[in-house]
Amino acid sequence: MSKDKNTTTDIIEKEYSILNLGPTHPATHGIFQNVLKMDGEIIMDAESTIGYIHRAFEKIAEHKPYYQFTPITDRLNYCSSPINNMGWLLSVEKLAGIEIPKRVQYMRVIIMELARIADHIICNSVIGVDTGAMTGFLYIFQMRERIYEIYEELCGARLTTNIGRIGGLERDFSPKAWDLLDKFLKDFPPALKEFENLLMRNRIFMDRTIGCGGISAERALDYSFSGPNLRAAGVDYDVRVMSPYSSYEEFDFIIPIGTNGDTYDRFMVREQEMWESVKIIHQAIGKIKKEPAGIYHADVPEFYLPPKEEVYNNMEALIYHFKIVMGETEIPKGEIYHAVEGANGELGFYIISDGGRAPYRVHIRRPCFIYYQAYPEMIRGGLLSDAILTMSSMNVIAGELDA
């Protein structure tokens, strides 16, 4: 066979282009780097690099008395710091065997559900922004502001809250806090309805999000997904129900689940969870009314700081104050794991105590860190614009990812 000069038998080698998405790309809402192998607009492969804001929380925890680690947990998932605080406090209380009064447990439930709403507001409205719908984001963010005002009333801070102390809460809900909470509960449902009207059955939004970044239930379980991302794939796993803490077993709520595990399902699961959170808060307020008023911490003087005026006037209180501040409190030896349902998944604290003033070892199960490794698999074969949307709908928070 003679060789035709006009045709070539060499295979043209296909060249992929490498695209560096991040670390500081405005569309990724945080410090995430993904090295993408692109075939035109299609993602062939991706590699995530993380650790840009690693702050060695687990090492720091080995050097701090237990109460000093609470403010550091704020910096995990900073969109819902109170849940992290509560997770840590509940873990330490489990280790020390502290019984928390019912009223305080219900108050904590209110705080945690408010945090969940705040977190879901951010995530869902940002999904809207990434599809090009800025309006919903601006409207619903007022409601997040209202939640932050309640935080301010409860603890004095807005973002990094440090709500709660070992043994209870730092202070009782003030009349103003109850007032703000009532107003919030009145104004939030119509605002959320309005937000849903903008996006939920919006043709553009649905076309954009359905089938985008989906994951099957089997793969999600294999990757140890938890929280709304796992539920969107169709697995009804919720720590609040499976291993209840803080009296969640007394509350009546449903676990919404999706079917496809795609961006739309994740959005819908979060929407529904916000309605459930409102329901839980209403129930908690009802329960608090039946409890004796004025209790906001357990009676554990060796863990809970006494009021300042007693420290100045009472010998016993002064000693306890000194011991707590200097980290001389007796913490039993032991090894515990305690998980709470964080806004984006199962947030667990594993503590080994050797009886010293600081934990011997702390390991934090950070839900983002675990499910973000599925990201390359979820975006492979899709468009770049879908990858952005997938990331925002997975609710990956840099602080928690890198810890």
Give the binding site for other proteins (CB under 8 A): 50-51, 54, 56, 58-60, 62-65, 94-95, 219, 221-224, 235, 237, 242-243, 326-327, 334-337, 339, 346, 348, 350, 352, 356-358, 361, 363, 365, 369-370, 372-374, 402-403
Closest separation in Å from C-beta 66 to other proteins: 12
Q: Which CB atom, from 60 or from 285, has the smaller least distance to other proteins?
A: 60
Q: Which is nearer to other proteins, 90 or 181 (CB)?
A: 90
Distance in Å, CB of 60 to other proteins, minimum: 7
Q: Closer CB to other proteins, residue 47 or residue 145?
A: 47
The answer to whether 355 and 333 have CB atoms below 8 angstroms apart is yes
Dihedral (CA of 92, 97, 101, 102) sign = positive
Q: What's the closest the beta carbon of residue 246 comes to other proteins, in angstroms?
A: 15
Residue 353 CB, nearest approach to other proteins (Å)? 11
d(CA 369, CA 316) in angstroms, rounded, equals 45
Contact yes or no for 403/76 (Cβ under 8 A): yes
Q: What is the CB neighbour count within 10 angstroms for residue 154? A: 25
Three-state DSSP string of 206-233 = HHHHCCCCCCCHHHHHHCCCCCHHHHHC
CB atoms within 10 A of CB 308: 10
**At its nearest, how many Å lie between other proteins and the CB of residue 46?**
13
Give the number of other CB atoms < 10 A from CB of residue 38. Answer: 16
Given the complex with other proteins, which of 224 and 314 has the nearer CB atom? 224
Q: Computed from CA positions of residues 48, 365, 217, 267, in that sequence, does the dihedral angle turn out positive or negative?
A: negative
Q: In the complex with other proteins, which residue's Cβ is closer, 27 or 221?
A: 221
For other proteins, the closer CB: 145 or 377:
377
Q: Residue 376 carries which side chain, given as an amino acid letter?
A: P
- The residue among 200 and 334 lying less far from other proteins, judged by its C-beta, is 334
CB of 90 to other proteins, least distance (A): 13
What is the nearest approach in angstroms of other proteins to the Cβ of residue 179? Answer: 39
Task: Please report where in the chains the tokens 């609710």 appear, as a residue.
Answer: 395
Q: Which residues contact 197 (CB under 8 A, 6 or more apart)?
A: none
